[in-house]
Structure 1
Amino acid sequence: MAGAKATRRMGRPPLVDRDAIVRAALEIGFAKLTMSAVGQRLGASHSTLYRYFASRNALAAAAIDRAVDAVDWPEPGGDWRSYLSALASSYWDLYDTHPGLAAEVSSLRSTSRGMVAVTNRAAVALLGFGFSAAHAVLVQDMLGELVTQAFLGAPPPADGQPAEIDGPQAGADGRHTFSIVNGRRMRRAELIEPWLTLYDERIREEFSAAVARDPREQFRTKLTVLLDGIEALRRQPP
């Protein structure tokens, strides 16, 4: 009898709490996040999960909070251009680390207190740089959308794999650009290759180069254009 009791104790399901559920959600990734997937990963029943989170979206919001808290967000020192560049880099790291989060945010399926805090902090920082309230809100929104767009449409990682598909690739600045965006770049190149001859010969080569360019390098170019546009915007009344 004692042996039977010991066996039952050894077979007891692992303890599941709010922290463990959020951790499992982040490990699964937003692209594949369901209550069923979390339950299977933890060996827990649906009823156990729903004691902590009323819905899948409530769980996603908590996971977004955790992801946002782990990012090194910049302080508004220096000038507004360097601040926005650093902010864009932090957004990139957030989406790069968590596949599917960009789509989660873009589709308005979930938001979170952490994400609201980030956008509020960014807009307030821009007020400190002399932006009007209207321009501060507009600029932080445009910046967030620019980074989000870089990750939309990227293929999700294969089952059992983390954020990277084929492994990280070191960029020119030594940072790792995960193939969640490199996968999108390669897919775009595959799709456009048979149609390149339809482009005007004056832009064909540059179009091909833009599609094949390292995603982070291409993003920096777009960011420069955005920042130049913001400079012009600042000269106009709100």
Structure 2
Amino acid sequence: MNAKPGRPRTLTIDQIIDAVLAEGLGTFSMPSIAGRLGVVHSGLYRYFTDREDLVVQVMDRIARQAPWPSTDLPWREHLEQIGEMFWTLCGHYPGYDLTALRSRNVSPGFLEMVLPHIEALQREGLEVTDATAAVEFVRGLVLTSSIDAARLRYVETRGDLPEHAIPGFADPEKWAGRGWYRRHLSTWLDGLSQRVAVLQPSAAGRTAV
């Protein structure tokens, strides 16, 4: 026997999240997800208060399933590998970069997954504020670099633009996706290494006492 017209279809949160990832993080809307699932638009609000609430839960799943690196790495390699992990997410989930930057809320899953990495960086000699700032810097640099790389790939296809007036921007690495990102990251990590070198003797002294 067919269900009566208008009868709400039973869904799970996982099914809705699957639909968002299939639709695309950067382009989905509540009506488009409802259409993909074959339900009325208003039915989604039985599960989520608004689109932002749905975004947070999608990002929560992504964070929990992300290929986080080992926490046993030296601090510099650790941060580099966290960066590579975020690049993987940007490549695997179209729209992840813009969504992560625009989202007003941080998912519980991200906080849960990132905490062991901040603690590991502390064991390597970073203060908690420096460890937290370092992870956030790498994350933000990947997200903005991913967005910028997409824009530059589009610009590169146009033949009506003048040559770059800024010499550094004429470097082919600027147009090679991660080349410019790695230059920025290396410069920042070089500066952080000097800070760690200053802090480590102080930390050792406090431990000895």
Give TM-score scaled by structure 2 length.
0.81
| Matches for 1:165-176 after TM superposition, within 5 Å | none
Change (3 A) 1:116 1:192: farther
Partner of 1:31: 26
Change (3 A) 1:80 1:197: closer
Matched to 1:27, the amino acid is: A
Q: 1:72·1:90 contact (CA, 8 Å) conserved in 2?
A: yes
- Pairing 1:229–2:191 present: yes
Aligned equivalents of 1:197 and 1:121: distance in 2?
Answer: 43
Aligned equivalents of 1:33 and 1:120: distance in 2?
Answer: 30
Q: Deviations over 1:170-220 (max 9, x none)?
A: xxxxxxxxxxx4x43322435797332644xxx27x6242333x2133333
Aligned counterpart in structure 2 of residue 195 of structure 1, from 162, 169, 172: 162
- Quote how far apart the aligned CAs of 1:140 are: 1.4
Partner of 2:205: none
* Higher alpha-carbon deviation: 216-225 or 66-75: 216-225
Change (3 A) 1:70 1:219: same
Partner of 1:129: 124
- Quote how far apart the aligned CAs of 1:150 are: 1.3
Partner of 1:185: 152
Aligned equivalents of 1:24 and 1:188: distance in 2?
Answer: 32
Aligned equivalents of 1:232 and 1:193: distance in 2?
Answer: 44
- Pairing 1:67–2:62 present: yes
Q: 1:68·1:94 contact (CA, 8 Å) conserved in 2?
A: no
Moved over 6 A (4+): 11-14
Does the residue aligned with 1:117 lie in a helix, a strand or coil? Answer: helix
Aligned counterpart in structure 1 of residue 139 of structure 2, from 130, 138, 144: 144
Aligned equivalents of 1:28 and 1:110: distance in 2?
Answer: 21
Change (3 A) 1:43 1:151: same
Q: What are the ranges of 5 or more consecutive residues in structure 2 without an aligned counterpart?
A: 203-209
Q: 1:24·1:41 contact (CA, 8 Å) conserved in 2?
A: yes
- Quote how far apart the aligned CAs of 1:20 are: 0.6
Change (3 A) 1:129 1:40: same
Change (3 A) 1:78 1:67: closer
Matched to 1:95, the amino acid is: C
Q: Deviations over 1:49-69 (max 9, x none)?
A: 111111111111111111122
Change (3 A) 1:81 1:195: same
What RMSD over aligned residues (CA atoms) do the two structures have, in Å? 2.7
Does the residue aligned with 1:26 lie in a helix, a strand or coil? Answer: helix
Q: How many matched pairs?
A: 198
Aligned equivalents of 2:164 and 2:51: distance in 1?
Answer: 46
Q: 2:8·2:40 contact (CA, 8 Å) conserved in 1?
A: no
Q: 1:127·1:133 contact (CA, 8 Å) conserved in 2?
A: yes
